[in-house]
Amino acid sequence: MNKYILTSKEFFFTITMVILVITGCGNSTNKTNTHIIKRDTTITTANAYSSLVLDSATLESYISKYDIDTAMATKMRDFYKSRNYHFVWFSTDGLTEQARAFYNLHNTYIKADIDTTQYAKELHARMDSLLNDDHLVLSPAETTETELRLTRHFFKFTKEEYEGTIDPSQLQWHIPKKKIDAVALLDSLIAQNGTKLENWEPVNRFYPLLKNKLIAYYAIDKKGGWDSIILKNRIYKVGDSGEVIAALKKRLRITGDYLADDTSLVFTAQLKSGLQHIQERLGLTADGVLGRGVADQLNISVKDRIEQILINMERLKWMPNESSGTRLVANIPEFSLHVFKSGHQEFSMKIVVGKAGHNTVIFTDSLQYIVFNPYWNVPESIVKNEILPAMQRNKNYLSRNNMEQTGYSNGLPVIRQKPGAKNSLGRVKFIFPNNYNIYFHDTPAKTLFDLTDRAFSHGCIRLSKPEELADYLLSDNADWPTSKIHEMMVKGGKNTWVKLKEKIPVYIVYFTAWVTKDGTLNFRDDIYGHDAKMKKMMFENE
């Protein structure tokens, strides 16, 4: 099979399309549209980013049904002709990740009161349902309708939000059309020390850091990659010896985690340090012991790592620009929350996120309230699946768990847990109002933070250092000194709401590859399968 090598012009086609929108809209004089977009018949079901196909007659019917003006209709026709009418926002697995990213970016503008006219009630209700329920399935007609509404919204959004506010060359959005061969793409884009990539480098400061690591891994691949680590014993530690030790030293030298020239068969203290370094980069327990877990990670091929880096570079293109103030970033695969101020990381903490089947939703919002000694309003799903069966087994279940029933809703009792030391939300929660009922909170189950894999919640995010975050966010509030916050956290008290003086942006993100400020490349497992979906759409022969 001949591999399709994507040129930089083709790979970033949508940027060009958006620039056409920006430069061609809002002009008071009528000009003839001279650009002609031909249908790209080289895109097929086999190589398209999404295998779902739109019938051109359906597009025309949509344009007619909603009486779409000539300029917008032309943009939509051109957009789909350039993709040979393949879908943009949906694949066979549901919403694509760029659809989720665009929706979150779009909502950020609305909630910042930049342009509330962008709110479309029916579309937003459907998108909220899709984002909140991975098992929700739309009919083909509903999928097509939502696809076209999102495309129309995308063009409207880019015109109204970007026109006249930023240089179009900084607009980092693009939507891939075809599957690619990752290494072939690098052959074409990095042939001259990555200069072709820099032509399209987005303003996000983390993007070039990850791009430089991509170039380094590309060089490793050209030299043959690395050999697998084959274990004969269950574990290897300092003092052990064997051929696998020499293989481990060679493997770690390739990625710069072990710098010594020692090629002996002996597991040295220096090798332990190198192994601990790469364990930290991979999110593993940094015990300096070679076992099955770390060997499996080391044996992931350089080509797979290149694709993982490309997937996460793609995600960086969809991130909003950094704000100058405080912002909170929770990276789900990392199980960490980072607090930034004006681009500088103030501190970080471990978090517990949603377990499989209760995925923490990826979205952006603004933190507005801190609630000390919170009530826990138990979600209907937990009431139905866990509390009702427990109440049937034990009539004193509610009182024993400091819970109370406050009414009925949708045929179920409304249950809440009263404030207290054993409250599931602990002593404090941090609210950023959203349709997914997700927030940050304390927890009485502190031992979970000692684990490497911390996906245990029903979707909300538990914090290992809630008192430190509360103290930081209320540092400008004289009514809430550190001593008062500490007393609330230790002794408790009545349910108390505190409104922040300014809204704090919150980003719930999903990065499985990133570079820290010290230049360290990190990888994490794809705990929700988002990478797998993107890989299936982005790359050939998957």
**Residue 238 sits in a domain of what CATH number?**
1.10.101.10
Tell whether 273 is covered by a domain: yes
Tell whether 218 is covered by a domain: no
Q: Are 466 and 442 in contact (CB under 8 A)?
A: yes
Q: Under 8 Å CB-to-CB from 73, ≥6 apart: which residues?
A: 63
How many Å apart are CA 275 and CA 293, to the nearest integer?
12
- What is the pLDDT averaged over residues 364-370? 90
- Of the chain, the percentage scoring pLDDT greater than 90 comes to 53
Q: What was the pLDDT predicted at 539?
A: 83
- Answer with the residue of higher pLDDT: 193 or 413: 413
Q: What is the DSSP code string of 423-467?
A: -TTTTEEEE---TT---EE--S-GGGGGSS--EEESSSEEES-HH
Q: Are 479 and 301 in contact (CB under 8 A)?
A: no
Whether the per-residue pLDDT at 484 is higher than 90: the answer is yes
Q: Are 47 and 167 in a shared domain?
A: yes
Q: Are 459 and 476 in contact (CB under 8 A)?
A: no
Strand-pair partners of 415? 405
Q: Model confidence over 18-60: pLDDT tens digits?
A: 322 322 333 333 344 445 778 888 888 888 888 899 999 999 9
Cα angle, residue 96 at apex, residues 178 and 537 outer, rounded to 5°: 35
Tell whether 198 is covered by a domain: no
Tell whether 52 is covered by a domain: yes
Q: Are 326 and 406 in a shared domain?
A: no
Nearest Cα residue to 314 out of 92, 539, 19, 158: 539
- Answer with the residue of higher pLDDT: 229 or 118: 229
Q: Are 462 and 424 in contact (CB under 8 A)?
A: no
Distances (CA, A) of 524 to 47, 79, 354: 28, 35, 16
Q: Are 279 and 330 in a shared domain?
A: no
How many Å apart are CA 429 and CA 427, to the nearest integer?
7
Strand-pair partners of 432? none
- What is the pLDDT averaged over residues 409-420? 92
Q: Are 281 and 428 in a shared domain?
A: no
Tell whether 172 is covered by a domain: yes
In which band, very low, low, confident or very high, does the pLDDT at 180 lie, cut at 50, 70 and 90? low
Nearest Cα residue to 226 out of 328, 172, 295: 295
Q: What was the pLDDT predicted at 176?
A: 60
Tell whether 453 is covered by a domain: yes
Q: Any idea which of 31-45, 131-145, 236-250, 335-349 has the lowest mean pLDDT?
A: 31-45
Q: Are 114 and 102 in contact (CB under 8 A)?
A: no
Tell whether 188 is covered by a domain: no
Q: Are 15 and 61 in a shared domain?
A: yes
Q: Are 428 and 470 in a shared domain?
A: yes
Q: Name the strand (E) or helix (H) holding 522.
A: strand 521-523
Q: What was the pLDDT predicted at 155?
A: 79
In which band, very low, low, confident or very high, does the pLDDT at 13 lie, cut at 50, 70 and 90? very low
The residue with tokens 């693009």 is: 174
Whether the per-residue pLDDT at 275 is higher than 70: the answer is yes
Q: What was the pLDDT predicted at 485?
A: 97
Q: Any idea which of 3-17, 74-88, 457-471 has the lowest mean pLDDT?
A: 3-17
Range of the structural domain that residue 70 is part of: 8-179
Considering its fold, how many domains does the chain have in total? 4
Tell whether 437 is covered by a domain: yes
In which band, very low, low, confident or very high, does the pLDDT at 541 lie, cut at 50, 70 and 90? low
- Three-class HEC string of 176-218: CCECECHHHHHHHHCCCCCHHHHCCCCCCCHHHHHHHHHHHHH
Average pLDDT along the chain:
82
- Answer with the residue of higher pLDDT: 249 or 134: 249
In which band, very low, low, confident or very high, does the pLDDT at 430 lie, cut at 50, 70 and 90? very high
Q: Model confidence over 326-349: pLDDT tens digits?
A: 999 999 999 999 999 988 899 999
- What is the pLDDT averaged over residues 80-104? 85
The residue with tokens 């696809």 is: 147
Q: Are 141 and 286 in a shared domain?
A: no
Q: Are 268 and 353 in a shared domain?
A: no
Q: How many residues are present in the chain? A: 542
Q: Name the strand (E) or helix (H) holding 403.
A: strand 403-409
Amino acid sitting at position 83? R
> What one-character DSSP code corresponds to residue 384?
I
Tokens of 323: 């704000």
Q: Are 121 and 256 in a shared domain?
A: no
Q: Are 52 and 14 in a shared domain?
A: yes
Distances (CA, A) of 186 to 192, 193, 209, 406: 10, 10, 16, 60
Q: Are 157 and 40 in a shared domain?
A: yes
Q: What is the CATH number for 368?
A: 2.40.440.10
What is the reported pTM? Answer: 0.76
Q: Are 333 and 392 in a shared domain?
A: no
